[in-house]
Structure 1
Amino acid sequence: MSGTEKGKALAEQAMGKAKEALGRAAGNERLTAEGRAEQTKGDARQTKEGAKDTLKDAFRRR
Structure 2
Amino acid sequence: MKVIVDQDACTGSGQCVLIAPGVFDQRDEDGIVTLLHDTPEPGLQEDVREAARICPALAITLTTS
TM-score, normalised to structure 1, is: 0.31
TM-score, normalised to structure 2, is: 0.30
Larger Rg: 1
Q: Which has the higher strand share?
A: 2
Q: Which has the higher helix share?
A: 1
Greater relative contact order (CA < 8 Å, ≥ 6 in sequence): 2
